[in-house]
Amino acid sequence: MALKVKIFQTIEKNLLFVMIRTAVILILALLAVVFFGSGIKKLNVELIEKRSRLASTTNLIDNLVSLRSDEKKAEIILPTLSATLPDADDVVIRTVGDLENLAVKNTLKSAVTLEAASSATETEPAGVNFKIALSGTGPAFLNYLKDLENLSYFIKLINIDLRGPGGLINPAEINFAGKIYIKK
């Protein structure tokens, strides 16, 4: 019986050591998972950021290549385009008459004013700013804009101001400003 008790105590001690070793190994494994898991999470976040930067850079490079290609195309067309722009003197003489004739054609009363010519910038050619005050109905004004679009000038509309008690259908005052591009 003493031998059985000794064997039982030895088994108990060995089992206790195995359990302690297993617990220590599990704790160490858990700590390793937590430690390496946070490192992996950090690396994952960095990887996502780098992929995002790479995508942005790739998109930027594609845009730059496209712009360079468009610039080469524009350089080919630029002399022809510049040749089609009217001289400042032609704009003053012809434009006022053309704009007023369009108003008469569309049964609108008009007052046209031209400003001094502006110099070319990096983004825009030289031009003459203008303002037009029209009185009439909305449909007549829309027809006026369609006809304005068909003139032989390059025109940029800057501002359109509609005034009138009954909206566009009833008589209204329509003021707009724009720019006619010219050679300079």
pLDDT on residue 167: 58
* pLDDT per residue of the chain (184 residues) written in tens, 0 to 9: 666 677 777 777 778 888 888 999 999 888 888 887 777 778 888 889 999 999 988 998 888 888 888 888 877 877 777 777 777 777 777 888 888 899 999 888 888 888 888 888 888 888 888 899 988 887 888 898 899 888 877 888 888 887 776 655 667 788 889 888 887 6
From 84, 117, 142, the end of a domain falls on 84
Whether residues 5 and 47 fall in one domain: yes
Whether residues 129 and 67 fall in one domain: no
Whether residues 42 and 99 fall in one domain: no
Hey, is 99 helix, strand or coil?
A: helix
DSSP string for residues in 41-95: HHHHHHHHHHHHHHHHHHHHHHHHHHHHHHHHHHHHHHHHHHHHSPPHHHIIIII
From 51, 69, 84, the end of a domain falls on 84
Whether residues 100 and 167 fall in one domain: yes
Quote the CA–CA distance of 101 and 94 in Å, as a whole number: 11
Whether residues 33 and 106 fall in one domain: no
pLDDT on residue 168: 58
Q: Domain containing 33: what range?
A: 1-84
Whether residues 75 and 30 fall in one domain: yes
Q: Residues near 102 by Cβ (< 8 Å), separated by ≥ 6? A: 144, 147, 148, 151
Query: What is the domain count for the chain?
Result: 2
Whether residues 27 and 62 fall in one domain: yes
pLDDT on residue 104: 92
Whether residues 100 and 176 fall in one domain: yes
Whether residues 80 and 60 fall in one domain: yes
Whether residues 93 and 78 fall in one domain: no
From 84, 115, 148, the end of a domain falls on 84
Kindly report the CATH number assigned to the domain that includes residue 148.
Answer: 3.30.70.60
